[in-house]
Amino acid sequence: MDWKRFSWIILFGILWLNGDQVMAMEKTAIIVNPIRSRELWKDKTTKPLDDQYRIIKENGLKATWLIQNDVLSDKEIMDKIINFNDDQEIGIFLEVSKNLAIKSRVYFEEQKPWYDPGVVFLSGYDPKERAMIIDKMMSDFKQKFGYFPKAVGAWWIDSVSLNYLENKYGIKNAMIVTDQKTTDNYGIWGQWWGYPYHPDTSNILVPGKMNVLITQWALRDPEKAFFGSGPKVSNFSMQANDYISQGLKIDYFEKLANIYFDERNKLGIITVGLETGLESVDFIDEYKKQLDWIKENNIETFKMTDLSIKYDQLYNGNPKEIFIGNWLLTPTYRENVVLGEKINYQHGWYFKDHFKKDSQSFLNRIYNQNNLMKKPINWLWLGGLIGFLIVKKLKKKWWIAVVGLIIWFGLIHLRYTKIEEVSMIGVLIDNFRFIGINSSFKIINQDLENLIAKSMLKLKIGNSELIWWLLVGIIIGKIHDLWNLIVKRKLEI
């Protein structure tokens, strides 16, 4: 017997029967650089942007640049970004500034610092206001670039905003920060440990069936970043500024990268980047070492949008199992037996910011029962039935309810204020447009400043749901009357 030939046949059979297990893992990286307004930069020249782009271009790498809305009005910066080569993707950094909020006709809390979660994240605004802000971001972006972006990012994106971005604008990739319990006033905990996934419509931290892919910023050490809280723990990450602050060097970055390049997965993915003009100023040399290492090790780089395509080509949705060190990540739970944690994912559970704005200065998005809630019951139609009974009780005097509604709509928009001893009373057509009269009997029709409009006295009318019930009741009542009339005429015929 030809034992050599027989050995090759056996080996081929093993490879054929266990193709998934022996398939070579593909090493990939996304380079993402968020860009905020130059007002926040340490070096306010264009050098930080030039340095990052030069290093990426010299290495022939692909990257994504997420720009905050205020950057669009910076002509000097925009002239450079527009002339980036085709290997660069431009997306939106979803942080909210005062300028963006007011352009979107939304109040802005000027008393809070710009980085406060209650003002900088979309979750700090009512769900309807989030749509207004997103629409303004998108329209401004399209005006500059001629298209809507497919990649977005922020350290936190609420589920309402994420669904809106996907359904209206077809977003393909959204980046949030990786798990950190208390760092930077953000407490985010419970998502897949550092690995991309498709989220559930109800909660961005839960794997689900949305088309958008969630990628993560500042991939953490799978063990050292687990226990404790604050920068001393979360700074064990792949971010240059993080690990250098811990007295570590490029070999630590390489160590973490190789952990995320786990051979048990089909795709190994790391995120590399620095905030332009901020961390990039002091850590540009380390950033260069990271990108040089990516180039030297033949790690393929993807734009954020292209990574989403690659991910679905390999997995067709979320994979059944992903391994990162001792972490096991599945669509129904994540578990680390060594660290003693298991989080079971539940569909249909929401953070409170899905329903109302979160104005707290600490973003508490720890995935546990204390922070989660079911969707409240919509009492509109039950209330409509109550309204219908009220209308029927009024019989032919249903117009009284209509007049009451008109008065109510007027009252909720009525505003009063006093500026430099001059009183004004009138109505706000939207958050800023005021129409009314002052104490000198002068007609006023203008936009008010943010603080003035926000501070105008309002009549507090409780139980506003009852008014909507009455409105639905009137509609049902009129349909009921019309139906009775039709039936009566048929009987007469």
For position 412, what pLDDT does the model report?
A: 67
Q: Looking at the domain assignment, is residue 46 inside a domain?
A: yes
- The DSSP annotation for 231-268 comes to HHHHTSBS-HHHHHHTT--HHHHHHHHHHHS-TTSSEE
> What tokens appear for 360 in the block?
């707290």
The whole-number average pLDDT for the span 180-202 is: 94
Q: Is the per-residue pLDDT at 27 higher than 60?
A: yes
Do 442 and 332 share a structural domain? no
> What tokens appear for 239 in the block?
């971010």
Exposure string of 436-462, with b = 16+ CB inside 10 Å and e = fewer, is bebeeeeeeeeebebeebeebeeeeee
Do 366 and 345 share a structural domain? yes
Do 474 and 339 share a structural domain? no
Do 427 and 338 share a structural domain? no
Domain boundary at 342, 374, 406, which? 374
Do 103 and 45 share a structural domain? yes
Q: Is the per-residue pLDDT at 244 higher than 80?
A: yes
Least-confidence region, from 24-38, 96-110, 133-147, 417-431: 417-431
Dihedral, CA of residue 250, residue 256, residue 261 and residue 262, to nearest 10: 150
Q: Is the per-residue pLDDT at 29 higher than 80?
A: yes
Which of 250 and 413 is assigned the larger pLDDT?
250
Do 195 and 47 share a structural domain? yes
Q: For residue 98, which of 476, 449, 455 has the smallest C-alpha distance?
A: 449
Per the structure, the complete domain to which residue 403 belongs is given by 380-492
Q: Looking at the domain assignment, is residue 6 inside a domain?
A: no
How are beta strands 333-336 and 88-93 bridged, if at all? unpaired
Structurally, how many domains does the chain consist of? 2
Q: Is the Cα torsion angle 96, 97, 100, 105 positive or negative in sign?
A: positive
What average pLDDT does the structure give for the chain?
88
Do residues 271 and 34 touch, judged by C-beta distance below 8 A? Answer: no
> From CA 321, how far away is CA 332, in angstroms rounded?
10
Q: Looking at the domain assignment, is residue 10 inside a domain?
A: no
| pLDDT level of residue 204 (50, 70, 90 thresholds) | very high
Q: Is the per-residue pLDDT at 371 higher than 70?
A: yes
| pLDDT level of residue 134 (50, 70, 90 thresholds) | very high
Q: How far is CA 375 from the centre of its chain?
A: 20
Q: What percent of the chain has pLDDT over 90?
A: 68
Neighbours of 493 (CB within 10 A): 5
Domain boundary at 358, 374, 390, which? 374
> From CA 112, how far away is CA 118, in angstroms rounded?
8
Helices and strands in the chain: count of H runs, count of E runs: 17, 21
Do 300 and 414 share a structural domain? no
Q: Looking at the domain assignment, is residue 245 inside a domain?
A: yes
| pLDDT level of residue 9 (50, 70, 90 thresholds) | very low
Domain boundary at 325, 350, 374, which? 374
Q: Looking at the domain assignment, is residue 14 inside a domain?
A: no
Do residues 293 and 249 touch, judged by C-beta distance below 8 A? Answer: no
| pLDDT level of residue 198 (50, 70, 90 thresholds) | very high
Do 486 and 337 share a structural domain? no
